[in-house]
Every structure is written in structure tokens, then in C-alpha cells.
Structure 1
């Protein structure tokens, strides 16, 4: 399953890496790609949306589905 969420607060490649690592740490996620220009992250795997949002917010960014 592929899910796309909105991520606000990313401004550079380092921010993208931080968000990707946070999302990949969620149980059931196989891949995550963040794009600071599009303000989005695309996630592959099985996790509910609230877990994804929580992981991004714990990393210091604002997220929504």
C-alpha cells in the first residue's frame, strides 16, 4: 500500500532525510521518500495514518493526511 501525507516545515535535503528515517522507523513501513519542495512524503508499507503523522511530528515537523 502506498500513502502520501503532507509534511510542513522541511526546508532542505537534511530535513527530507530526517522525515524519511522517522517514517522508516514505523513498524510495517518498507520505504519512505520525502520531498521538501512538494511538502509531501510518500510511504510504502502497512501502517495506519495516525502512526505516520505521529512519527513525523515526533521528528519535529507538522504532518497531515
Structure 2
């Protein structure tokens, strides 16, 4: 599991956009969101760099927490 900090995630629309982008990545599994902490935990074996690049591409810069 990879947990990402996504500081610009602030609403349900943001969450939907992020979920759609991550779902398109091979190896990325289900995503769990923590709206208060502004994090997303991604199951699967997708490379963290790939997850970050996908989110950056839709305007949501992210960093890996763990």
C-alpha cells in the first residue's frame, strides 16, 4: 500500500477526479481516502512515482507518506 499526501484535495469532486486518475493505472487497486488528513492510500503494486505523476497530470501534486 502507498499512502499519498494530497494537500489540494478539498472536496468530493477532487476525490472523484483523483479516484478516476488512479483507477486508470495498471496495478493500482482500491483507494481509501481520508478527507481530513487529505491523504489517499492506494492498494496494489503500482509504483509510487507513477501514482504521483498521474495526480500531477490532473493538477493534484502529491507526495509519498509511506
TM-score range, shorter chain: 0.7 to 0.9
Runs of at least 5 residues in structure 2 that lack an aligned partner in the other structure: none
The structure in which a higher percent of residues are strand is 1
Gap regions ≥5 residues in structure 1: none
Q: TM-score, normalised to structure 2's length? A: 0.85
CA displacement, residues 11-61 of structure 1 (integer Å, 9 cap, x when unaligned) = 101101111111111111121233332110110111111001001111111
**How many residue pairs were aligned?**
64
Runs of 4+ in 1 over 6 A off after TM superposition: none
Look up the match of 2:57.
58
TM-score (ref. length: structure 1): 0.86
